[in-house]
A and B are shown apart, each in its own frame.
Chain A
Amino acid sequence: MLALSVASSSIVSGVLLGGMLALAALGLSIVLGVMRLVNLAHGDFLLVGAYAGFFFFTFTGVDPLLGLPVIALFVAALAIPVYRYLLQPLAERGAEAQMMTMFAISIILENVFVLAFSADTRSIGVSYAALPLTLGPVTVPLVYVIGFAISLVAILAVHWLIARTAFGRDLRASAADAEAAATIGVDVNRVRMLTFALGVACAGIGGTLIGTAFQFSPSSGGAYLLNSLAIVVLGGLGNVLGTLFGGLALGALQSVGGLALGDGYRDLVGMAIFLLVLAFRPEGFARGRR
């Protein structure tokens, strides 16, 4: 009974964490879809959100989850000049130049974090961080549930934005065929800039959520980038709800891997899934519109 409780709690925790990471993965996915860019600094923008939440809480004392809109705008505001001055001038030069620029930004951010905030591991210490929530045999931290719920709402909001609004129509058109979209009057450049900002903001919100539930350090970015990528390929590129389910699946599988083999195997499971899916099912598991 105890073993069952531990196992089910662990798997539910994993699913909840996967749901939080799915938001960050969604940001990666829309940037990949619209700009054909694997944002190698995505994990570091996630950390920007985590640090922003940390310092927001430290200095204002206001719950960082209430401050999420401010944090999202702050991270998005950082993304716009990055796009405008670093990525846009490279637009005609193919995917590699932009990707390597983002890689450079990634290593700069990581080391700026160390210089500015030290290499210490931190977490956002909200008052309810340690409170448990019990339902039958399942006991999970309350912050996981809150973070998951917020992530879910944000993912559905992005889904609505892409599926139902005029901006979403332009975004889908630019993702499908940028040249054709431009000929019918879509300002592809503006769409790309806003998509990049939206994608990075998703990482920032995800970062605050993850920073509330877990510890983070300047070097955590790489693992978050790779786990987000695993979610993207699991869910299928450009599929918003697929990304959500990819996140839940990855979270559950990582927990199962951790339970079966030991905690050190959690991230290993993520990497293995990423490479296996790429090898055997690169279109992902969710069948949906690309």
Chain B
Amino acid sequence: MKREKIAPAPREAAVILVAFAVLWFAPAFIGEYGLQLGFRTLIYLTLAEGWNLMAGSAGLVSLGTSCFVGLGAYVAYGLLNGLDLPLPAALVVCALSGAALAALVSPALFRLRGLYFTVGTLALAELLRLIMINVSAFGGATGFFLKNDPPALPILFRYALAVAVIAALAATLCVRTRASVILRSVRDDEDAAAQMGVRPFRVKLAAFMLASALAAMAGAVQAVKLGAIEPYGMFGLQWSIDVLTMVIIGGVGARLGPLVGALFVIALGEALADYPEAHIAIAGVILIVLIRFAPRGIVGLAAALGRAARGRALA
């Protein structure tokens, strides 16, 4: 096995916290449009960090991001409208409910070595969406309005920032500490890992629960910003498509993959905002090309180019 360079966790965590501190004051400088884009990037980054943790570290390819985004949105509205809970407390409950749902469905989804994980998560998202549409207690096809006015955009930006920083720190903890060895052993060879005393089911479950908790928090913040939710949007497949696209384009398993991918997908979306169908089709073509020729995404490509340039400089 190739030895991978492991940056010390404390240094990486420090970088994340500095970025957090700097961005905290961004609302004073970047204006409305910048805040909107920044908010979306942070939500996407949160989702992508969780997805990358599952796929890059535990080999779980999910098409169920929308399931947990939607769950977080609905739970948040229930807590904010029904119980008048403050938003931070609601976010904690959303995270817990996301992790709980992941644990609940894991016996079904981890069958057959993850062959069914991808479609199982897809089916779960569809199931939840259909429940929300059909059961009138969950608002039916029209959904819910937020009872109180949502916080102002700069405040929401800071909530999204806080959630994204939690996601980034969680990812750092998972890939820069001893936990990474356990995760990667399960991804690379489940049987060998089991013989070494690692329990693959528990490791995969932990990654799935963590990613689901993050997605539920992101969904809750997004839902509060919208001020109204309905099942077609909050449980829309587009969430799952976007997240998968981001991480594959950025680089599955690369630490910077989610960030690079999120920026790329947001930029592509802005460039093709007037052509939604063409936008998705082009994203599909980019996916196919990258999977074939650059399976490590933009980050992997950049690293390879960097190595080549250094090699030439030495020669």
Contacts and interface: CB of A to CB of B under 8 A. Distances in A.
Given A264-B133, A278-B109, 4 more contacts: A40-B63, A111-B278, A275-B105, A275-B123
Contact of A271 (B107, B123, B278, B291): B123
Interface string A36-69: 1010100000000000000000000000000000
B126 A86 contact: no
B277 A115 contact: yes
Interface in B119-151: 119-120, 122-124, 126-127, 130-131, 133-134
Interface stretch (B154-162, B203-211, B279-287): B279-287
Contact of A103 (B105, B123, B244): B244
Contacts of A104: 284-285, 287-288, 291
Interface of B: 55, 59, 61, 63, 105, 107-109, 111-112, 115-116, 118-120, 122-124, 126-127, 130-131, 133-134, 237, 241, 244, 248, 277-278, 280-281, 283-285, 287-288, 291-292, 295
B188 to A, nearest CB: 11
A262 interface: yes
B134 A100 contact: no
A72 interface: no
A100 B124 CA distance: 18
B130 A264 contact: yes
Contacts, number: 117
B291 A101 contact: yes
A100 B287 contact: yes
Interface of A: 32, 36, 38, 40, 86, 89-90, 93, 95-97, 99-101, 103-108, 110-112, 114-115, 222-223, 225-226, 229-230, 233, 261-262, 264-265, 267-268, 271-272, 274-276, 278-279, 282
A40 B109 CA distance: 16
B285 A108 contact: yes
B111 A111 contact: no
Contact of B291 (A90, A107, A276): A90
12 contacts: A36-B115, A86-B288, A100-B287, A101-B291, A103-B63, A104-B285, A106-B284, A108-B281, A115-B277, A226-B126, A278-B109, A279-B111
A111 B115 contact: no
Contacts of B277: 111, 114-115
B61 A96 contact: yes
A218 to B, nearest CB: 9
A115 B115 CA distance: 32
